[in-house]
């Protein structure tokens, strides 16, 4: 008989956050390394998407998973999200190609600030609490302090942050959708 370990809800949340952070951080580092040796962001994305398609359909052919057939009526409602996702992936890769990993992470961390604003203004959701504003303000202050010390920003000015800024805007819009 198999022994299974039952996690509490809090433990599941902690495990999920740690797992996501590990996967996300690893993917950023792997993509940066890949772009160092193959400096073509669109090509790298194409290889990654092709690998995903091959993996999913390979698992389907082997009988491990069920895959619904492609049906336009199911795709159409998600088309805007798909476009934002694709733009986000492209902007992320361009950010990694033109910036260091730290810059991409700092800009990604700013997305909740934009989402909080857009949620309240366009979706009629509540504005963040004072405690949330304190946390969001800390993110902005940290990003500001990072920019003041960033060598690329010191030498190139705002042009050093074009792709990271576009990436942040796209993923924020993707989150609000």
What confidence tier does 129 reach under pLDDT thresholds 50, 70, 90?
Answer: very high
Let me know if 103 is exposed, middle or buried by CB neighbors in 10 A (0-12, 13-18, 19+).
buried
**Comparison of pLDDT for 126 and 154, the residue scoring more:** 126
* 128 in Cβ contact with 136 (< 8 Å): yes
Model pTM score? 0.80
| pLDDT for position 7 | 84
Look at residue 1 and tell me whether its pLDDT is greater than 60. Answer: no
Span 18-42, mean pLDDT? 93
Cβ contacts of residue 113 below 8 Å, gap of 6+?
136, 139, 140
């Amino acid at each position: 008989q198999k022994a299974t370990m039952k996690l509490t809800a809090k433990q599941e949340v902690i495990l999920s956050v740690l797992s996501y952070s590990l996967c996300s951080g690893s993917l950023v580092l792997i993509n940066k390394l890949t772009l160092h040796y193959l400096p073509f962001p669109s090509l790298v994305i194409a290889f990654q998407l092709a690998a995903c398609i091959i993996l999913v359909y390979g698992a389907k052919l082997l009988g491990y998973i069920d895959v619904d057939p492609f049906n336009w009526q199911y795709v159409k409602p998600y088309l805007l999200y798909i476009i934002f996702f694709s733009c986000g992936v492209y902007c992320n890769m361009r950010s990694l190609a033109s910036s260091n990993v730290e810059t991409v992470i700092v800009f990604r961390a700013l997305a909740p600030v934009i989402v909080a604003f857009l949620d309240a203004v366009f979706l009629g959701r509540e504005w963040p609490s004072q405690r949330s504003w304190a946390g969001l303000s800390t993110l902005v202050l940290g990003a500001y302090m990072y920019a003041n010390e960033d060598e690329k920003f010191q030498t190139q000015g705002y042009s050093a942050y074009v792709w990271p800024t576009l990436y942040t805007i796209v993923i924020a819009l993707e989150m609000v959708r």
